Chains A and B, each alone.
Chain A
Amino acid sequence: MQFGIFTVGDVTPDPTTGRTPTEHERIKAMVAIAQKAEEVGLDVFATGEHHNPPFVPSSPTTMLGWIAARTENIVLSTSTTLITTNDPVKIAEDFAMLQHLADGRVDLMMGRGNTGPVYPWFGKDIRQGINLAVENYALLYRLWREDVVTWEGKFRTPLQSFTSTPRPLDGVPPFVWHGSIRSPEIAEQAAYYGDGFFHNNIFWPADHTKQMVELYRSRYAHYGHGTPEQAIVGLGGQVFMRRNSQDAVREFRPYFDNAPVYGHGPSLEDFTRQTPLTVGTPEQVVEKTLSFRDYAGDYQRQLFLVDHAGLPLKTVLEQIDMLGEEVVPVLREEFAKGRPAGVPEAPTHAARVAAATAGSGAAAGAGAGVGAGSGAVAGKEVAAS
């Protein structure tokens, strides 16, 4: 199982000092967070993509390329890449390039975005949001698996004999997660391709996350990629920790109360009771995170949001230290206990290359997360590689 950090990349005033970091400070803070995550032994760093203030990460592969050059082990990912408003050709090129530079330590998460005006700013129609996600990803999928693509669709200029360069590293495209909070169509899309499904799990009650994950698992099996238990699931979570839970609550409360997303609404107590937000000791975070398995099943990737609500960088880095030293080692051990043998590991480039070279058609759920050979979609992948 993989553990990591995901960041939205918001520039938010610190409510305790009234100070707003500059964009430059925030960008440098994001890469410092990524480097800290690597240093403490976390597995994944994922950045959001936004095209409006107060957010800075408009250019994820530039940022991830910088981080790739300064890290050795951590997998670089997104949370999310806008499959609706980005040109799928440019996504194919940018992430293949990043994959080469990072020696395969790259995957990405598709999302539709949550900011209405981004669609018209990029010449798209928000009413076509789901359809854009469907068509653009269908093209991206082919660009990474077929050397020469001739294509025609509703939303983009046709392609005649186009080759996306560079070709994916070792002929194996980056693994793709599809992220959605409330659209069953996206869970269905992830299931159809045998890709991963990620639920951000942070603003909604657990029973909602459970329904989305169940839909994805059931449909993953329907499309012949394996059993429901072999589907590739990722979850988010958000935490704030101190040695003593009263200190955590006292220190985090002003940040919670003024947070851009959930501030000025339910109390911290109500919100922690109703959603995965945990404010307390590392032990409490361990306990809450282990409970995600009760409704999502054994899963592959857990990402934490720690740089939220205007927390200063120093505090965020302390949070990552605690995750690396006290939380994740216990979670690795506890999640491994009672994990059924058929539950795959989180997908990595090395495992996917191994699965691709091991040949086609063999056992479903081989642990590489490629949907291992069964079903039309995976078959195409094998044929192209």
Chain B
Amino acid sequence: MKLVVVSAGLSVPSSTRLLGDRLAAAVVGRVPATAPAEVEVVELRDLAVAIAHHLTSGFPGPELGAALDAVAAADGLIVVTPVFSASYSGLFKSFFDVLDRDALAGKPVLIAATGGSARHSLVLEHAMRPLFAYLRAVVVPTAVYAASEDWGAEGLAERTGRAAGELAALMGALTVAGTGAGTGAARGAADGPVPGARRDGSVRVGGLEVTPFAEQLAALRPE
């Protein structure tokens, strides 16, 4: 299974990235041994200029394109942002603004954030969870917030473990059911034309899917 971490930390080293790595390690330890998780990290700091260019030009450059494809093809996602001005950072939001709007539909997502103090922890519930609900992701119940003080206190490890367990369980369940990995595999397979009927009557050729024209036309006929 493919696990992708999206980190919007800006400093190097970054506590946001640190939290992302820790959550990823906890998920890797909890997925079934029969379906081990392979981790890929997308560092938004490295893509900041490319994301801005995508906003102006309308298409992604090669590095950003690869990152967007990795996220779309993931079986599970860990997304981590620093809290800026009472919400996720602008860079974090911009990445999800340029992502294909259906890319996260049905995908298990663990949301996490870092901040200077625990007073901002509800950003996870008031900003992050609605964003991913809008994107039709399946957000795990436990969200993980790490304030500076948490790195020297009890509690973070337990929350990390609980959230990781929830994500691992969802990834395993969806992969077995064939929806999670299926979505990823289908999105990733874009080489060459593969004409063929799909379950819902639409037709896929290469990376594109379309409703047969007669159906489109019939839907417009007056009763």
Chain A residues within CB distance 8 Å of chain B: 130-131, 134-135, 138, 152-154, 184-185, 187-189, 191-192, 203-205, 208, 210-212, 214-215, 218-219, 222, 262-266, 270-271, 274-275
Q: Does B193 lie within 8 Å of A274, measured CB to CB? A: no
> Hey, which chain B residues are within 8 Å of A203, CB to CB?
57-59
Give Cα A152 to B222, complex, Å. Answer: 7
Give Cα A205 to B64, complex, Å. Answer: 13
Question: A263 — nearest CB in chain B belongs to which residue?
Answer: B56
Q: Does A214 lie within 8 Å of B57, measured CB to CB? A: no
Q: Does A215 lie within 8 Å of B222, measured CB to CB? A: no
Q: Does A184 lie within 8 Å of B56, measured CB to CB? A: no
Q: B86 contacts the other chain (Cβ, under 8 Å)?
A: no
In the complex with contacts A153-B220, A188-B210, A214-B193, A208-B59 CB distance below 8 A? yes
Q: Does A214 lie within 8 Å of B61, measured CB to CB? A: no
Question: A266 — nearest CB in chain B belongs to which residue?
Answer: B53
Q: Does A262 lie within 8 Å of B56, measured CB to CB? A: yes
> Hey, which chain B residues are within 8 Å of A275, CB to CB?
59
Q: Which positions 173-217 of chain B face chain A at CB distance < 8 Å?
A: 190, 193, 195, 203, 205-214, 216-217
> Hey, which chain B residues are within 8 Å of A211, CB to CB?
190, 205-208
Q: B62 contacts the other chain (Cβ, under 8 Å)?
A: yes
> Hey, which chain A residues are within 8 Å of B214, CB to CB?
192
Render B53-92 as a binary contact track against A, CB cut-off 8 A, 1 for contact.
1001111011000000000000000000000000000000
Give Cα A219 to B213, complex, Å. Answer: 10
Min distance, Cβ A17 to any Cβ of chain B, angstroms: 24
Inter-chain CB contacts under 8 Å: number: 82
Question: B202 — nearest CB in chain A belongs to which residue?
Answer: A184
Question: A217 — nearest CB in chain B belongs to which residue?
Answer: B193
7 examples of A-B residue contacts, CB within 8 angstroms: A138-B217, A152-B222, A185-B216, A192-B213, A211-B190, A215-B193, A215-B206
Give Cα A263 to B56, complex, Å. Answer: 8
In the complex with contacts A214-B206, A222-B195, A204-B213 CB distance below 8 A? no
Main secondary structure of the interface of A (DSSP, over half): helix
> Hey, which chain B residues are within 8 Å of A189, CB to CB?
213, 216
> Hey, which chain A residues are within 8 Å of B203, CB to CB?
219
Q: Does A134 lie within 8 Å of B217, measured CB to CB? A: yes
Q: Which 9 A-B pairs have the closest CB atoms?
A: A265-B56, A192-B213, A184-B210, A215-B205, A265-B57, A184-B208, A266-B53, A188-B210, A218-B205
Q: Does B222 lie within 8 Å of A153, measured CB to CB? A: yes
Give Cα A135 to B213, complex, Å. Answer: 11
> Hey, which chain B residues are within 8 Å of A274, CB to CB?
59, 61-62
Min distance, Cβ B125 to any Cβ of chain A, angstroms: 32
Give Cα A270 to B58, complex, Å. Answer: 14
Give Cα A204 to B203, complex, Å. Answer: 23
> Hey, which chain B residues are within 8 Å of A271, CB to CB?
57
Give Cα A346 to B9, complex, Å. Answer: 54
Question: A222 — nearest CB in chain B belongs to which residue?
Answer: B195
Min distance, Cβ B222 to any Cβ of chain A, angstroms: 5
Give Cα A184 to B62, complex, Å. Answer: 23
Render B89-106 as a binary contact track against A, CB cut-off 8 A, 1 for contact.
000000000000000000
Q: Does A154 lie within 8 Å of B222, measured CB to CB? A: yes
> Hey, which chain B residues are within 8 Å of A188, CB to CB?
210-213, 216
Min distance, Cβ A244 to any Cβ of chain B, angstroms: 27
Give Cα A222 to B196, complex, Å. Answer: 11
Min distance, Cβ B51 to any Cβ of chain A, angstroms: 11
Question: B56 — nearest CB in chain A belongs to which residue?
Answer: A265
> Hey, which chain A residues are within 8 Å of B62, CB to CB?
274
> Hey, which chain B residues are within 8 Å of A215, CB to CB?
193, 205-206, 208, 210
Min distance, Cβ A259 to any Cβ of chain B, angstroms: 11
Task: From the candidates A153, A219, A266, name the one contacting B57 in the complex (CB within 8 A).
Answer: A266
Give Cα A265 to B206, complex, Å. Answer: 30
> Hey, which chain A residues are within 8 Å of B209, CB to CB?
184
Name 19 extra pairs, CB < 8 A, besides A185-B216, A218-B205, A263-B56.
A134-B216, A135-B220, A188-B212, A189-B216, A192-B214, A203-B57, A203-B59, A211-B207, A212-B208, A214-B206, A215-B208, A219-B203, A219-B205, A219-B210, A222-B195, A262-B57, A270-B61, A274-B59, A275-B59
Give Cα A72 to B203, complex, Å. Answer: 44
Q: Does A185 lie within 8 Å of B211, measured CB to CB? A: yes
Task: From the candidates B53, B59, B222, name the one contacting A205 in the complex (CB within 8 A).
Answer: B59
Question: A187 — nearest CB in chain B belongs to which residue?
Answer: B210
